[in-house]
Amino acid sequence: MTITIASQSLSQLPETVAEIYQQFPSLETEALKLVQTPLRIIDKPEGVLYVTQKEYAVLKNDDENLSMIGTDDATTCHIVVLVNRKESSVCVAHIDSTDDLDEEMTRMVLDVMGQQHAESDFYLELSIMGGYRDEMHKSEMLTLDLLQFYNDLPVNFQLKSLCVNSVNTRTSNGINWPIIYGVAVDLQSDFVISPAKFNLNVRGPCLSLRSSRFLSSQCSLQRVYHTGEGIFRINPFSYRYHSQMVDWIHKSDDFILNNFSTSPAVEPEHFPQEMKQVFQFVVHNPFPLASVFKFNKSVKYVPSPQGQWLKL
């Protein structure tokens, strides 16, 4: 099985994104439409499910409390959207690497496939967004790694959108910037994908805890929500505590950007402050398995119709 693009099979993966756009010009056309779509500002938490870096979630259109799913702040990271039309479900993931994540990424595909995997005519719609023409070419390598992974799986995928690299790049003062940092998928509008910015107040529970995964030595891609369960779940993990974190909290924004970002020149304005909040959290919780995940139990929340997350 393989990825198909406009009814053509991607039998052999090209070596560059430019070659993919050259071979399948409809992909570039659709990507250009997406970057020209007006940005949605998501500022009210009602009905919103947000995933951050190293997370994914699966949402069905019969969810009682949630009707939109998305993510933001992707620079070299990529956003993967999988749509299962037979079960009216969608998966959104915020991926920073594919290294040692075959098992987790396969589980993500199985989560959104549901009961349809035995049907020969079944396929998932695949969209990949994010990444830009960065100096180190990290974005392009991640794009090609993701396409190779999905092309190798014994599942049919229809690649609907590939909004990456040159198409997702603008230049200002000699610096390349991403155009799209985030997307929202609206289940009430036939899974339409829109460029989106999620305000910090709509990003769900325990954001500093979830963002601290980048300090963990474990490679991970964690499912945080599935409509079938109805619970926002943060599974136990640990991280590396550094004694310098107390000092990092008081460092300049430039220090934070240059030491903790893969793309310091183009991060969102709130990135340094958000990182300092993560460091502050870790300073107060140097041993999360003892202070946060007591008895090795997950931290769980359920959504309310008013957009609140209620701790269980």
pTM for this predicted structure:
0.95
Show Cβ contacts of residue 65 under 8 Å, excluding neighbours closer than 6 positions: 47, 303, 304, 305
pLDDT, position 220? 84
- What is the β-pairing status of strands 192-198 and 48-50? unpaired
Helix (H, G, I), strand (E, B) or coil at 262: coil
pLDDT, position 251? 96
The single residue listed with the structure tokens 């071979």 is 23
CB 208 within 8 A of CB 281: yes
pLDDT, position 5? 92
- What is the β-pairing status of strands 55-60 and 222-226? parallel
Bridge partners (DSSP) of residue 81 are 92, 127
pLDDT, position 11? 78
Helix (H, G, I), strand (E, B) or coil at 84: strand
Q: Which of the residues in the chain have pLDDT under 50?
A: none
R_g of the chain, CA atoms, integer Å: 19
- Model pLDDT for residues 224-243, shown as the tens digit of each residue: 999 999 999 999 999 988 88
pLDDT, position 116? 60
Show Cβ contacts of residue 279 under 8 Å, excluding neighbours closer than 6 positions: 245, 248, 249
The single residue listed with the structure tokens 């099985």 is 1
The single residue listed with the structure tokens 């550094």 is 242
